[in-house]
Amino acid sequence: MRHIGGEMAGWSDPAPAGGAAYGCLIEALRPLVPPGGRVLVAGPHEPGLIGALPVGANVTLLVRGDRDAHRLGDRPITILCGSLAKLTGTFDVVVALDGVTRLCTVEGPQYDWTDSVRALRRVLRPGGALLLTVENELGVHRLVDRTTITSARTDSDWRPVGEYDTKPGSPARLRAHLAAEGWAVPWLAAAWPLPSAPTFVADEATLRDGPAGALCAAASVAMGVAYAGRPVLSDPRRLAAAAIRGGLGAELAPALLALAFHGPASPVAMPSTVSGAGPLAELPPGRLLEELLIGACLRHDLPTIRRLLTGWMAHQPAATADNVLVDGDTFAVFDANRLGVEPTLAIQRFAATLLAGGYEQPWPAAGDTASLTAILLAAAGLSPGAVPPTDPLPAPDSLREHEDRVRRLEERLADSAARIRHVESELIQRDGELRRARLRIDMFSGRVGYRIARLGTRATRLGARAARKAFRLLKNR
């Protein structure tokens, strides 16, 4: 371990870049590392990523925090602790999967994104490769965040530039920016759900020409797992899937990945899609069953709802609606590694999604999960029976969906209040009619009570008449 200047004593960067998907991409770079070649890992990275590099490579790790340097000091690598501005040497491959925002220190110059990439280019030999992650400030993870990146919240955010930085905000601009700086970019991809630890990666060609249903399913599942139980402005699963369907998957992805060469590009086979720890050989065709069912519910298309539900239960009853792809009459499971569930529980989860998302559906009276599950089970041709308790499957704590549910409850309360007012007016009117009817009945029946009451009324009238007459006599005198 060597201190090169500008190091931050007692400092450690949280949430280093990591995950199996990044490890898969690093393994794809092995043909670019010659025997004994020099590899620079710039920024905080998990130890597992460093282990994915070729065994015979001469690995150098650049970190700015003194505590991070000491924590990794027992590994057979060279550790440089300090600022990017003090970095020297020549390397064959540079890996910056954490981006370039955490390479400068408070003890040195504050580089923006462009200056940081230029600094990495200076230490890269001609023909060398750079694997770079670029966080998208307009990505799904930022659009659903309840806070803003330009408001410093931790000690590491002493320069919270956010979307006002010089980093490119789209794949086309990233490619153009790197090309203008003399880089060749043969591979560009988008990553979900978080820049620090993506679990799904897809390149430009796949996002443009690949099956949208499978891509939506993969991105939606990745966002759902990462944001389970977390407070957000809106459900990131819906936003990520809608962006891919609309052809804006890369533009709204949380991160962009680029393999750039300092000069002519070398041939290397990068995976087109990565899910979890390995590449996906082929994405199946079709659309996600959950999307088709929600669309049919929004249109109140009962025949389509019944056809999809019965086909689902006939072909893939153990898979949830967000894990089934429909291609014509074919129902296929997207991720075979996900655990199966009981058919009733699978339909119950879809009912919970339908209600939690505030979607319009043909059965407005079914305002709870149990009643809607019973209706969907009947539409699927299954016996409703005893609906199990609501599955406590964690989901994003979405503010927009909460407000939509509150709005629907307010509408139901307003409708109930109008009904109550109508019933009260009807009751008052009918109560008056009932009293008059009873009075007539008593009059025509000749009851003793009615007679006494009538005599009392006559006596009262005679007394009042006599009193008025006496008053007039006294007045005339």
Distance between CA atoms of 169 and 163, rounded to whole angstroms?
9
Distance between CA atoms of 262 and 181, rounded to whole angstroms?
9
- Per-residue pLDDT tens over the stretch 123-138: 999 999 999 999 998 8
Distance between CA atoms of 227 and 130, rounded to whole angstroms?
30
Residue 163, token pair as written in the block? 């979307």
Angle among Cα 328, 202, 52 to the nearest 5 degrees reads: 130
For 223, residues 6+ apart whose C-beta sits below 8 A from its C-beta are 140, 192, 193, 236, 237, 239, 240, 396
Compute φ and ψ for 367, nearest 5 degrees.
-95, 0
Residue 254, token pair as written in the block? 């949380």
DSSP H/E element including 142: helix 140-143
- Per-residue pLDDT tens over the stretch 303-319: 999 999 999 999 999 99
Classified as helix, coil or strand, 413 is: helix
pLDDT at res. 360: 84
Q: Which residues of the chain are under the pLDDT cut of 70?
A: 73, 150-153, 385-394, 442-451, 453-454, 477
- Would you list the DSSP string of 53-106? S-TTSEEEEEESBHHHHHHTTTSSSEEEEE-GGG--S-EEEEEETT-STTS--T
pLDDT at res. 152: 62
List the alpha helices (DSSP H) in 271-342: 289-299, 302-315
CA distances from 403 to 207, 297, 410 (A): 32, 21, 10
Residues facing 158 on adjacent strands: none
pLDDT at res. 370: 87
For 170, residues 6+ apart whose C-beta sits below 8 A from its C-beta are 250, 251
pLDDT at res. 391: 58
Cα 163 to its chain centre, rounded Å, is 20
Question: Is the CB of residue 442 less than 8 Å from the CB of residue 450?
Answer: yes
**Residue for token digits 């282990």?**
51
Q: Residue 155: what residue type?
A: D
What beta strand segments (E) does 343-401 contain? 397-398
The two most distant CA atoms of the chain are separated, in Å, by 139
pTM above 0.95, yes or no: no
DSSP H/E element including 213: helix 212-226
Single out the residue of 256, 248, 170, 268 nearest to residue 207, CA to CA.
248
Written in H, E and C, the secondary structure of 425-470 is HHHHHHHHHHHHHHHHHHHHHCCHHHHHHHHHHHHHHHHHHHHHHH
Question: Is the CB of residue 273 less than 8 Å from the CB of residue 335?
Answer: no
Beta strands 78-82 and 200-203: pairing type? unpaired
Single out the residue of 169, 161, 92 nearest to residue 131, CA to CA.
92
Classified as helix, coil or strand, 248 is: coil
Distance between CA atoms of 9 and 64, rounded to whole angstroms?
9
Distance between CA atoms of 110 and 103, rounded to whole angstroms?
9
pLDDT at res. 392: 55
**Residue for token digits 């070649």?**
37
- Per-residue pLDDT tens over the stretch 39-84: 999 999 998 898 888 888 899 999 999 998 888 767 788 999 999 9
Beta strands 287-288 and 324-327: pairing type? antiparallel
